[in-house]
Structure 1
Amino acid sequence: MNLKENLLSVLSGNEVDITPVVSVTQLGVVEAMEKTDAFWPEAHKDPEKMANLGSSLYELAGLECARMPFCLTVEAEAMGVKVDLGGKDKPPQVLNSPFSSADDIAIPDDYLDSGRIPTVIEAIEILKEKYDDLPIIVGITGPVTLTGHLIGVENLVRLLKTDPDEIEDAVENSLDACMDYIEAISEVGPDVICVAEPTASPELIDPLQFKSIAKPRLEDLAGFINEKNVLHICGSTQDIIHDMASIGYDGISIEEKVDITKAKEDLGKGAVNLKAGGKCLPKGGVNPSSKIIGNISTSQTLFTGSADDIKSDVKNALDAGVDVLAPSCGLAPLSSIDNIKAMIEARNEYFNI
């Protein structure tokens, strides 16, 4: 079984002999930029450099995937938001938006031809031609997070409390933009699409608001994506894991703040609820429970930890039953390649390979 088959088999609910080790989140690091001559910000807008950096940790460390892009500002920029593309160790950031209120949000006619969307699509094509057996993971921005980029996160949080109906409309418009982007991506055939929804974290919005506003749109996205799909939400998502489990994603990406053993228990409950509710099983029909992806700390272990720290965290995650071993969130740009190698070597040692 090759690397692509191994990952897709896990996400289909099948048992495999070796737990995959990938990154469903941002993986661009400066050391890899130096070795591939694919630096930020150029790698954000040049398809060849994006493809080279996106596959760099496979080539240099043995990470079992390619993954791009390297930020969550692609969709917002294409909708007219001004973005600072940053520097070699600074990711892109939203500067300002043309939308003064939630009611103003509209998808431009040239949306899919704007900004870096064509770059991402061409980079996928490059990697598809280069690799037959390496899974290609593409990250997109979730509708709640995209709404925050369009009207400002502070405004989003405020309006959730003062005018939730207005936010409902705004998130619905953002969902349409997400779907248009997914449709364009799907035409070139990535293997996995990861929906990153950091603004839906319980640290920013109340779990009840997650259930009423974020969850229905994330369900719509899960049903719309033809590829294997993963949902990543930052922070301590323990309080919403049960709801995340019932959405229908093939994988749930979690940070180190989440207890894997308890999360798997909650996902099992979510699977039972899916059956009881009479909903269709996720694609493949094998296992109605999302798989747990994570949760090796990117802020500490993979950034500044020792090889022993990484080995310990990897063993703990595998002992707890993680389905796909991965960084807990986007890699810090100054993380070392050696630490990524150590994560993979620890997985190999665990399975005696």
Structure 2
Amino acid sequence: MNTKQEIVDAINRENKGAAPPALFTQTGTTEMMSVCGSSWPEANYSEDAMIKLALQPSELFGFATVRIPFDMTAEAERLGCEVFEGDNSRQPSVSNSPCKTGEIGDPPDLMPVDEFLSGGRPAMYIRTAERIAKEHPDLFLTSCTIGPVELAGLMVGFEEFIMGSFMNPDGVMNWVKKMTPYQCAYAEALSEASDNVFIITEGAEDVMDPDTFGTFTPYEGQVFTSIKNSFSTAHVCGITENILEKLAGLGSTILSVESHGDPQSVFDRVGDKVVLAGGIGAISTLLQGTPDDIRDAAWKAVDAGYPVIMSECGVPPQTPNVNLEALAKYRG
């Protein structure tokens, strides 16, 4: 049986048995939506619908974890961006921003931080976390937000942000600095109701030059410093070969990166610096693999030394239930 306590023990490096399975990344799938009757996009905008869908991994497969929300657009939407709501197989995405002008300008005056937290979906997500914590204290609750680099990219457009990091680095840095107080306050608020705050950090080498990412780490680090009441996880999708140590030094309790089938190399480099969670490739294994593939990958990560076994990126919406069940029960 999976339990919340063994996840806590694993993060504290006190677990005695095989590493517990968990889900800290997004968990919405079309099969679970069909089972419970709660689907995207409604589950991204309704507390009740979100909670119902978020509980499915526990109710159907026995995970001791619950994770909210399912997307990463609420913060940008609150600050004025337009959002495409998606459908039952596509998450919401930023479709336009009043700050996207084709170049990096000075950040405009935006709402105060306390106003940011008190309305829109950020406020809804905080309330949802509070409800889950109260109604399901036996589950390890992870609440997700994004880092200031990710939010700045959504506000000005990622293409403009990446080009600006070469052509106008001071302008880009001003945007990262502008976003940092919002994300620090939001992460702290989520930590008051959650067991773990999961921060999506934009730094993958297939998107950003490692040296450029290095200039942003003080601001990403401020977000983790603000998380005072829970564990914290830094997550990056993509290639992290040349920034792995930087990620391990951000100040998070846990690090979630893609190991590309080689969890041992990741563990050997940073396993003594931060708790590693992962081992299961989201696309190659969880979505496209068989239950046996998932069990094999899980034990490979256990043998490498990973304290927590989970998907290394968001659970793909088309992931079959049998594969999630295999992860939840990989220990037999």
Shorter-chain TM range is over 0.9
1:102 and 1:33 mapped to 2: Cα distance?
42
**Which segment drifts farther, 255-264 or 161-170?**
255-264
Aligned partner of 1:222 in structure 2 is 224
SS in 2 for 1:232: strand
Aligned partner of 1:192 in structure 2 is 196
1:105 and 1:116 mapped to 2: Cα distance?
21
Checking the alignment, whether the CA contact within 8 Å between 1:57 and 1:337 is kept in structure 2 is: no
CA deviations 1:292-312 (Å, max 9, x no partner) are 111211112111211222122
After TM superposition, give the deviation of residue 122 of structure 1 in Å.
2.0
After TM superposition, give the deviation of residue 6 of structure 1 in Å.
1.8
2:57 and 2:303 mapped to 1: Cα distance?
25
CA deviations 1:75-111 (Å, max 9, x no partner) are 1111111001100111101100111444124432432
Paired residue type of 2:246: D
SS in 2 for 1:8: helix
**Which segment drifts farther, 112-121 or 76-85?**
112-121
1:174 and 1:105 mapped to 2: Cα distance?
11
After TM superposition, give the deviation of residue 313 of structure 1 in Å.
1.4
Q: 2:188 aligns with which of 172, 183, 187?
A: 183
Checking the alignment, whether the CA contact within 8 Å between 2:18 and 2:302 is kept in structure 1 is: no
C-alpha change, 1:82 and 1:114, in structure 2 (3 Å) is farther
Residue segments in structure 1 that go unaligned for 5+ positions in a row: 272-288
SS in 2 for 1:124: helix
1:37 and 1:233 mapped to 2: Cα distance?
31
C-alpha change, 1:174 and 1:165, in structure 2 (3 Å) is same
Aligned partner of 1:307 in structure 2 is 291
After TM superposition, give the deviation of residue 316 of structure 1 in Å.
1.4
CA deviations 1:29-73 (Å, max 9, x no partner) are 111112222110000010011111112111111122000100111
After TM superposition, give the deviation of residue 235 of structure 1 in Å.
0.8
Aligned partner of 2:81 in structure 1 is 81
Is 2:229 the partner of 1:245?
no
Could you tell me the percent identity over the aligned residues? 28
Is 2:316 the partner of 1:332?
yes
Aligned partner of 1:205 in structure 2 is 208
Checking the alignment, whether the CA contact within 8 Å between 1:261 and 1:321 is kept in structure 2 is: yes
CA deviations 1:183-203 (Å, max 9, x no partner) are 33234x111000011x31111
SS in 1 for 2:310: strand
Consecutive aligned runs of 4 or more in structure 1 exceeding 3 Å deviation: none
C-alpha change, 1:323 and 1:48, in structure 2 (3 Å) is same
C-alpha change, 1:258 and 1:168, in structure 2 (3 Å) is farther
Aligned partner of 1:114 in structure 2 is 119
Aligned partner of 2:172 in structure 1 is 167
Paired residue type of 2:174: D
1:15 and 1:64 mapped to 2: Cα distance?
15
SS in 2 for 1:19: coil
TM-score (norm 1): 0.88
Checking the alignment, whether the CA contact within 8 Å between 1:253 and 1:295 is kept in structure 2 is: no
Paired residue type of 2:199: V
Aligned partner of 2:257 in structure 1 is 254
1:218 and 1:49 mapped to 2: Cα distance?
31
**Which segment drifts farther, 85-94 or 204-213?**
204-213
C-alpha change, 1:338 and 1:331, in structure 2 (3 Å) is same
2:165 and 2:23 mapped to 1: Cα distance?
32
TM-score (norm 2): 0.93
Aligned partner of 1:158 in structure 2 is 163
Is 2:60 the partner of 1:60?
yes
Residue segments in structure 2 that go unaligned for 5+ positions in a row: none
CA deviations 1:271-293 (Å, max 9, x no partner) are 6xxxxxxxxxxxxxxxxx21111
Paired residue type of 1:294: G
Paired residue type of 1:299: I
CA deviations 1:146-200 (Å, max 9, x no partner) are 111000000110110011111111101111110121233234x111000011x31
SS in 1 for 2:76: helix
Paired residue type of 1:234: C
1:105 and 1:194 mapped to 2: Cα distance?
28
2:160 and 2:139 mapped to 1: Cα distance?
41
SS in 2 for 1:181: helix
SS in 1 for 2:9: helix
Is 2:297 the partner of 1:295?
no
Checking the alignment, whether the CA contact within 8 Å between 2:107 and 2:178 is kept in structure 1 is: no
Aligned partner of 1:282 in structure 2 is none
2:326 and 2:154 mapped to 1: Cα distance?
35
After TM superposition, give the deviation of residue 13 of structure 1 in Å.
3.4
Is 2:128 the partner of 1:126?
no
After TM superposition, give the deviation of residue 341 of structure 1 in Å.
0.4
Q: What do you get for the CA RMSD once the two structures are aligned? A: 1.8
1:31 and 1:22 mapped to 2: Cα distance?
19
Paired residue type of 1:247: L
1:167 and 1:14 mapped to 2: Cα distance?
42
Aligned partner of 1:42 in structure 2 is 42
After TM superposition, give the deviation of residue 320 of structure 1 in Å.
1.3
SS in 2 for 1:103: coil
